[in-house]
Amino acid sequence: MKPALSVILLTTLIGAGQGLFLAYYSAEWFVMLSILAPAQTDYSGFAAGLSFLLLAAGLLASFFHLGHPERAWRAAAMWRTSWLSREVIALPLTMLLMLGYTLLKLGSHDPLVFMLGESIPIAASTLVGFCAVLALCALYVCTAMIYACLKFLRQWHSPLTVLNFILMGGASGFTLATAISAYARDGRFAYFVGMAIFLTLAALVSRFASLSRNKKLRSPSSLQSAIGVHHPTIRQLAQGAMGGSFNTRAFIHSYGASVVRMARRGFLLLAFIAPVALLQVGSETSAFLCASAFVLQYLGLLVERWYFFIEAEHPQNIYYQMIS
């Protein structure tokens, strides 16, 4: 498949934004449950605002993938059967809830709604944040299932695709949270860095598993099945079209094996190994190291998502494999 920069930016930006919101909202609950100490300075509102901006940037990037952006609203019409339509609904809903949480946290009025038990106060922001978490979890699944549901793209059609999207988005979000926590010195650094390392290593294992699985795949299609002629000695002399077409532009890439191999090694290093190394040597006072870990990880995830598209082999390429 040919990678689309707009889709690469969409999936990586919203994944990091969702992970960042999960990081600070989960920390809020751990404080209420007395697992974590209260933050010296509460930056959860600012973190939620940054999460909203990351999702907004991803949404903006997605418009460059559309032939007619003014018709984008129609994409939500097939929500009963289309994972893309469900993503189109889940993304703005998540953004709206994140924005509501941000305004409540940064505003002067966050009313108490009820008490959970005798010691856990549930404010309006906590309820809105809980709804945002449900929405962003649905968004993770919808985004990943756009690719995982395609049975003819065997490299994508696996539960590992969904798991990878969730783990890599969560890892990048928690890594960004460590940088914010180190800068703010809010006392939550140990929690964020521990979760960031755990999620990054889990994502590494999951992505390596998908790489190993895809390496063993063998296409069930052939030239014979592609054109519906089952003669044993078919020889292809032309591409099947007099010139280029949408099929040859959208589903066939021109990168050599050495470039693809370098990209695979590069994203494994940048997205997983380097961030873990930086986070392990970092401390609560080393915001630069934590920010560097996030930047390297995000660059690695851009390469990983590029490779994700390159790795997928569309069955139609069997027919269009020769250059006219």
Q: Domain span at residue 132?
A: 5-318
Which tokens is 224 given? Answer: 């014979």
- CB count, 10 Å around CB of 77? 10
- Tens-digit pLDDT profile for the chain (324 aa)? 788 899 999 999 999 999 999 999 999 999 999 899 888 788 999 999 999 999 999 999 988 877 777 777 788 888 899 999 999 999 999 999 999 999 999 998 899 998 887 888 899 999 999 999 999 999 999 999 999 999 989 999 999 999 999 999 999 999 999 999 999 988 899 999 999 999 999 999 999 999 999 999 887 777 777 678 888 887 777 666 666 677 777 777 778 889 999 999 999 999 999 999 999 998 777 899 999 999 999 999 999 999 999 998 887 777 776 554
Half-sphere exposure for 273 (CA within 13 Å, toward CB): 8
CA distance linking residue 38 with residue 30, whole number of Å: 9
Cα–Cα distance list, 44 to 130, 226, 232, 278 (Å): 14, 54, 65, 24
Give long-range contacts, CB 8 A cutoff, 24+ apart: 293-297. 293/175, 293/178, 293/179, 293/196, 294/172, 294/175, 294/176, 294/178, 294/179, 296/270, 296/271, 297/171, 297/172, 297/175, 297/200, 297/270, 297/271, 297/272
Q: In this structure, is residue 324 part of a structural domain?
A: no
Overall domain count for the chain: 1
Q: Is residue 323 part of a domain?
A: no
Question: pTM of the entire structure?
Answer: 0.92
| CATH number of the domain encompassing residue 84 | 1.20.1630.10
CA 37 to chain centre: 30
* Domain presence at residue 106: yes
